[in-house]
Amino acid sequence: MILRILLLAALLLLPRPAPAAETLNVYTIWSERYATAVFDEFTRETGIAVNFLRFPSGEVLARLIAEKENPQVDVFFGGIADAFVAGKKEGIFEQYVPGGAETIPATFRDPEGYWTGVAMNPICFMFNRPFLEKNALEPPASWQDLLDPVYHNGLIMADARTSGTAVSRLFSLVLAMGENEAFAYQKKLDENMQQYTKSGAGGALSIGRGQAAGGVFFLVDALEMQQTGYDIVINYPREGIVYGVEAMGLVKGAKNPELAKRFLDWAASPDMQRLYEREKINLIPTHPEVTLENPSLDMKNVKLLELDIEWSGKERQRLVERWVNEIVR
């Protein structure tokens, strides 16, 4: 009896294995650097590990629909809001309004609570400066400028089937020109295309290296190229551009819903958006308490076209299919 008591006491003194770390699973469209900066800060503050996978917005949407009966992630973070609207119709998101989200302007929030916007990201023209100088060209300042034969086989842009950047480009053209004129324009534009890339940033490096003349990108990617040291020029079409609202939401049937809600609460705070300035994340904050410091993100001289997010979410697939059938063929 005494021996058994001694053995039990000895077992109680043995070091116990540490509990497994809590892990949140996330899909994001953000770059490795941006996503790591945000998720590492969340882990530092909460102790919750984040396992994330990066895909273009359209691909995330397709994966979430395919995984609907057995979700593989808890949160979609940083996706374009119209993808959330499209996903809401598919029943892949769950309503959840993060704590403090009511401070974010209603323009950047779903009225039913399916998504919350954490950043604005306008599209822009990005061109290789040496190419422009070699050809005595001014930076393009109109959508029509991209039809110049000097750009034949020189433009790289994203594929609307997989990329939110491409869908935002498509919305810009439809709002600036009207739908039929926008598609007639894109048939002409296709004659100057070198490549349609899977992701929005896919052609940025080729332009930076002078392997292509230019293209249409989200500003976040163009500024990243500039900060990395590539000699590129950023400009905007006078007819106007749309901006993406980069959002986050809770995946329906998430295996870790409480961890997901803790992350969404944290990410809706002004402190998360203050990371943009500290970490050189080139996004425009949606939280009114976060001051915009980077002059490159000041849009006061850019014509921004107001995009109805509900409309864009409903029309997204139809317009993409028309683009495939009429432009890519």
pTM, whole model, 2 decimals? 0.83
Cα 127 from Cα 173, distance rounded (Å): 19
- Amino acid (one-letter) located at 74: D
Q: Which residues of 95-122 are buried (b: 16+ CB within 10 A; e: fewer)?
A: ebbbeebeebeeebbbeebbbbbbbbbb
Task: Label residue 15 by pLDDT band (50, 70, 90).
Answer: very low
Averaged pLDDT of the chain:
91
- Interhelix angle 57-66/81-90, rounded to 10 degrees, is 20
Average pLDDT, integer, range 182-188: 97
Cβ atoms of 121 and 90 closer than 8 Å = no
Task: Say which residues have a Cβ less than 8 Å from residue 152's Cβ, sequence separation at least 6.
Answer: 191, 192
Nearest to 288 by CA among 147, 163, 108: 108
Residues 6+ apart with CB under 8 A from 7: none
Among 117, 110, 73, residue whose Cα is nearest residue 252:
73
What dihedral angle (degrees, nearest 10) is formed by the CA atoms of 92, 94, 99, 100? Answer: 60
pLDDT digits (tens, 9 = 90+) for 290-321: 998 889 999 999 999 988 888 988 898 999 99
Reported as a single tens digit per residue, the pLDDT across 20-52 is 459 999 999 999 999 999 999 999 999 999 999
d(CA 71, CA 251): 8
Task: Give residue 18's pLDDT band: very low, low, confident or very high (50, 70, 90).
Answer: very low
Q: CA 290, CA 304: separation in Å to the nearest integer?
A: 21
Which contiguous run of DSSP H or E holds residue 194? Answer: strand 193-197
Q: Once rounded to an integer, what is the mean pLDDT over residues 128-141? A: 97
Give CA–CA dist 215/203, Å, rounded. 8
Q: Which residues pair with 114 in a beta bridge?
A: none
* pLDDT exceeds cutoff 50 at 16: no
**Beta carbons of 123 and 242 less than 8 angstroms apart:** yes
| Angle of CA points 92, 98, 103, to nearest 5° | 130
Reading the block at residue 27, the tokens are 């899909």
117-129: average pLDDT: 96
HSE value, Cβ hemisphere, 13 Å, CA-based, for 12 = 6
pLDDT of residue 4: 52
**Burial class of residue 315, CB neighbours in 10 A (0-12, 13-18, 19+):** buried
Q: Give the DSSP per-residue string, 52-80.
A: EEE--HHHHHHHHHHTTTS-S-SEEEEEE
